[in-house]
């Protein structure tokens, strides 16, 4: 490292740029909580006073609680299912030599590189041709398609990262495949599983495009926000709701990324 | 993220007789497919079948409230003949093209900084840069509405400071607003792949170049930049593709001059209620994205070969 230092001399210009970059990345989002405490119907400067009014208003509206419940149910179902499927898939991809597995992985990752609207309308067409009415179940299916690639992408490095000889040792000592998985493999990939659960929950919780096309009468939280945007008098309470969602999302994702990467950077830690 | 590396591990059972080994290998393969099958099933039901039906429907036509399921090219003909469809498509590519270039250029130094100049708490930096990406897309777009609005943060702030006399109208409801919002929303997607390929660069190459007398600029243009091109290419794809299909951003912060093809598709499934036309537009969008992607890939391949 040290002999490289003349190449990697601290670069003041770049440092300032990085600081500016992070500022621009975060400041726009921070205006939402800022104005959610502002005592005015209008989002503009100067700020007119501090209030909890919009949060109290939010608390009293049953539609908010209903859509929160819907989003939670969809999010929990999606995160559990996609993490289980992602774990099985990541295990298969890393442990067996499968003909055509590159093509399979590319296929599973496809939603990352196709505009969401295409999936949304395709699923909508399929469901309507089958005569399935739109509900939270259809939203869940849509979210599964969106979340599965992220679950696999989060779990794959985990399965690749740990020492295979542990599994082999377990097998040599007479454990069968199932016990080896539960007692050796699973604890080793657990951080990846937790990261995947949290990430897929957050993605589903915040997802809008699929929900837009696939929601029936029960709105998810982002759909609720979308419909509220039409009413200017509800704007401040939408800001309050958005602030809460942002805070929760940031916390969940931060924990997910932290837990998910911990063991990858310092492998010895994850094995303790 | 799409180019996840795989290491297919041979199962270490070399001591066993070869007949048993091939049987084990076979069962291992079968078990692998078995483990993969639930995920594949979801993708087939949720993606492949719907997309097939989308293609089929694009050849149908609307017939009152029902569909005429005889195959015809009518929708594609309309899409070719009516200028507005092409205009929307061209505008989508224009807006997301600018967004992509701007995002990649702005994010490259950031990725470079973290790869080469951050030595402690690297992970914290990566998390900080990608964190906003995971949170609600709708809310991030919404925050720009708050900022750029006619009475938004910028306008009311500048008015209050006395720097301007009337609100700047170009801010909200314009293509500029759409581009700013999209670039901000997709920044994390651009940083990650570029960071990964910058991080992978063998530092001894730079050292060698320095020893042989290359200055910082030459080192960057002859070593760092060419070696990080794969990351730049993935970043370009990862931003260009989803942004061309976006419709929330134009709907929330765009103006009369910024609806994109996504808005048109959404209308066909909503107010206009012409699903076959919407399906045809979706297929056309997909084909164009694939075509643009392939050309881009081809050109970058060629130019990379000529560098080497």
Please give the helix or strand (H or E) that residue A18 lies within, else none. Answer: helix A12-36
What is the rounded distance in angstroms from the CA atom of residue B206 to the CA atom of residue A218? 58
Q: Record the tokens describing residue B193, joined without a space.
A: 């792949």
Tally of domains within chain A: 1
Q: Which of A14, A101, A208 sits opposite B117 (nearest CB)?
A: A14
Interchain pair A85, B1: CB under 8 A? no
Is residue A11 domain-resident?
Answer: no
Sign of CA pseudo-dihedral A62, A63, A64, A70: positive
Q: Could you tell me which of B105, B119, B226, B222 has the C-alpha nearest to residue A9? A: B119
Q: Which domain holds residue A136?
A: 52-270
- Chain A interface, mutation test: which of B14, B24, B50, most A Cβ atoms within 10 Å? B50
Q: Could you tell me which of B163, B148, B307, B282 has the C-alpha nearest to residue B225? A: B307
Q: Record the tokens describing residue A217, joined without a space.
A: 């009468």
Is residue A265 domain-resident?
Answer: yes
Interface membership of A107 toward B (CB under 8 Å): yes
| Helices B175-200 and B137-148, axial angle in degrees (round to 10) | 130
Is residue A140 domain-resident?
Answer: yes
User: Percent of chain A at pLDDT above 90?
Assistant: 32
Q: Which of B32, B137, B187 sits opposite A92 (nearest CB)?
A: B32
Q: Are A142 and A210 in contact (CB under 8 A)?
A: yes
Distance from CA of A241 to the nearest CA of B (A): 10
Is residue A225 domain-resident?
Answer: yes
Cis peptide before A46 (omega within 30 of 0): yes
pLDDT over threshold 70, residue B250: yes
What is the rounded distance in angstroms from the CA atom of residue A246 to the CA atom of residue B139? 8
Interchain pair A125, B12: CB under 8 A? no
Cβ contacts (< 8 Å) between B187 and chain A: which residues?
25
| Helices B261-269 and B275-307, axial angle in degrees (round to 10) | 160
What is the rounded distance in angstroms from the CA atom of residue A82 to the CA atom of residue B197? 28
Tell me the mean pLDDT in the region A195-212.
90
Query: According to the model, what pLDDT value does residue B307 have?
Result: 57
Question: What are the contacts of A223-227 at 24+ separation with CB within 8 A?
Answer: A223/A67, A224/A63, A224/A64, A224/A67, A225/B138, A225/B139, A225/B142, A226/B138
Listed by start position, the domains of chain B span 84-307
Interface membership of A15 toward B (CB under 8 Å): yes
Interface A–B counts its CB contacts (< 8 A) at 301
pLDDT over threshold 90, residue A64: no
Pick from A35-44, A169-178, B20-29, B177-186 the range whose average pLDDT is largest: B177-186
Q: Record the tokens describing residue A20, joined without a space.
A: 């500016």
Q: Which of A88, A122, A156 sits opposite B50 (nearest CB)?
A: A122
Q: Are A239 and A52 in contact (CB under 8 A)?
A: no
Query: According to the model, what pLDDT value does residue B8 have?
Result: 42
Distance from CA of A107 to the nearest CA of B (A): 8
Instruction: Concatenate the DSSP letters of all residues of B156-171 into one string.
Output: HHHHHHTS-SS--TTS
Chain-centre distance for alpha carbon A217: 24
Interface membership of A202 toward B (CB under 8 Å): yes
Mean pLDDT of chain B: 84
pLDDT in tens, A1-46: 444 455 556 778 888 999 999 999 998 888 888 888 888 777 777 7
- Within 13 A of A181's CA, how many CA atoms are on the CB side? 8
Interchain pair A22, B266: CB under 8 A? no
pLDDT over threshold 70, residue A63: yes
Query: According to the model, what pLDDT value does residue B4 have?
Result: 41
Query: Would you tell me how many other CB atoms lie within 10 Å of the CB of residue B198?
Result: 21
Mean pLDDT of chain A: 84
Buried b (16+ CB within 10 A) or exposed e, A26-58: eebbebbbebbbbeeeebbbeeeeeeebbbeeb
Interchain pair A45, B29: CB under 8 A? no
The ipTM of this complex is 0.82
Give the list of residues 6+ apart from residue B272 with CB closer than 8 angstroms, or none.
B278
Nearest-CA residue of chain A relative to B135? Answer: A249
Interface membership of A68 toward B (CB under 8 Å): no
Say which CATH number the domain at A194 has.
1.10.3720.10
User: Percent of chain A at pLDDT above 70?
Assistant: 92
pLDDT over threshold 90, residue A118: yes
Is residue A37 domain-resident?
Answer: no
What is the rounded distance in angstroms from the CA atom of residue B88 to the CA atom of residue B16? 64
Instruction: Concatenate the DSSP letters of all residues of A208-244 into one string.
Output: -HHHHHH--SS--HHHHHHHHTT-GGGHHHHHHHHHH
**Beta partners for A50?**
A38
Q: Are A99 and B224 in contact (CB under 8 A)?
A: no
Q: Record the tokens describing residue A226, joined without a space.
A: 């979308």
pLDDT in tens, B2-38: 444 444 444 444 444 456 556 555 677 888 888 889 9
User: Percent of chain B at pLDDT above 70?
Assistant: 90
pLDDT in tens, B115-134: 988 888 888 888 888 888 87
Q: Note the CATH number of domain B84-307.
A: 1.10.3720.10
Nearest-CA residue of chain A relative to B125? Answer: A22
**Structure-derived torsion over alpha carbons of residues A219, A221, A223, A229, reported in degrees to the nearest 10:** 130
């Amino acid at each position: 490292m040290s002999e490289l230092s003349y190449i990697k001399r601290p670069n003041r210009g770049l440092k300032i740029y990085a600081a500016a970059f992070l500022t621009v990345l975060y400041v726009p989002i921070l205006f939402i909580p800022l104005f959610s405490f502002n005592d005015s119907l209008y989002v503009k400067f100067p700020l007119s006073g501090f209030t909890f009014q919009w949060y109290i208003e939010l608390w009293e509206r049953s539609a908010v609680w209903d859509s929160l419940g819907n989003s939670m149910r969809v999010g929990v179902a999606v995160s559990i299912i996609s993490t289980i499927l992602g774990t099985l898939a990541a295990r298969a991809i890393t442990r067996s030599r499968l003909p055509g597995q590159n093509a399979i992985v590319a296929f599973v990752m496809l939603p990352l590189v196709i505009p969401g609207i295409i999936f949304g309308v395709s699923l909508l067409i399929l469901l309507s041709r089958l005569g399935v009415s739109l509900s939270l179940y259809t939203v869940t299916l849509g979210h599964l398609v969106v979340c599965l690639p992220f679950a696999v992408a989060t779990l794959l490095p985990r399965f690749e990262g740990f020492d295979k000889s542990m599994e082999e040792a377990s097998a040599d000592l007479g454990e069968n495949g199932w016990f080896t998985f539960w007692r050796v493999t699973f604890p080793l990939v657990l951080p990846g599983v937790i990261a995947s659960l949290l990430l897929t929950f957050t993605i589903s919780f915040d997802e809008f495009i699929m929900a837009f096309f696939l929601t029936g009468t029960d709105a998810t939280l982002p759909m609720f926000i979308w419909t509220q945007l039409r009413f200017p008098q509800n704007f401040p309470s939408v800001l309050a709701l958005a602030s809460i969602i942002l805070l929760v999302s940031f916390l969940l994702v931060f924990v997910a990324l932290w837990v998910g990467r911990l063991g990858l950077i310092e492998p010895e830690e994850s094995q303790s | 993220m799409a180019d996840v590396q795989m290491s297919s591990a041979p199962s270490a059972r070399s001591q066993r007789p070869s007949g048993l080994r091939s049987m084990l290998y076979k069962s291992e393969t079968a078990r692998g497919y078995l483990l993969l099958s639930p995920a594949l099933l979801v993708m087939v039901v949720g993606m492949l079948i719907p997309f097939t039906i989308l293609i089929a429907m694009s050849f149908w036509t609307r017939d009152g409230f029902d569909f005429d399921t005889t195959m015809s090219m009518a929708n594609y003909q309309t899409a070719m003949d009516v200028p507005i469809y092409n205009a929307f498509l061209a505008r989508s590519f224009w807006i997301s093209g600018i967004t992509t270039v701007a995002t990649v250029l702005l994010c490259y130094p950031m990725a470079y900084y973290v790869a080469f100049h951050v030595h402690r708490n690297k992970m914290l930096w990566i998390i900080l840069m990608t964190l906003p990406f995971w949170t609600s897309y709708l809310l991030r777009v919404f925050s720009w509405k708050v900022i750029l609005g006619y009475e938004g943060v910028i306008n009311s702030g500048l008015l209050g400071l006395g720097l301007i006399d009337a609100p700047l109208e170009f801010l909200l409801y314009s293509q500029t607003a759409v581009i700013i919002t999209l670039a901000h929303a997709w920044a994390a997607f651009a940083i990650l792949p570029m960071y990964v390929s910058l991080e992978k660069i063998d530092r001894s190459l730079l050292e060698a170049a320095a020893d042989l007398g290359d200055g910082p600029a030459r080192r960057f243009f002859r070593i760092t930049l060419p070696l990080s091109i794969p990351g730049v290419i993935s970043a370009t794809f990862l931003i260009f593709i989803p942004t061309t299909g976006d419709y929330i951003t134009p709907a929330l912060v765009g103006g009369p001059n910024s609806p994109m093809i996504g808005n048109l598709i959404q209308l066909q499934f909503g107010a206009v209620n012409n699903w076959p036309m919407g399906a045809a537009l979706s297929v056309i969008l997909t084909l164009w994205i694939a075509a643009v992607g392939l050309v881009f890939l081809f050109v970058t391949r060629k130019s990379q070969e000529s560098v080497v």
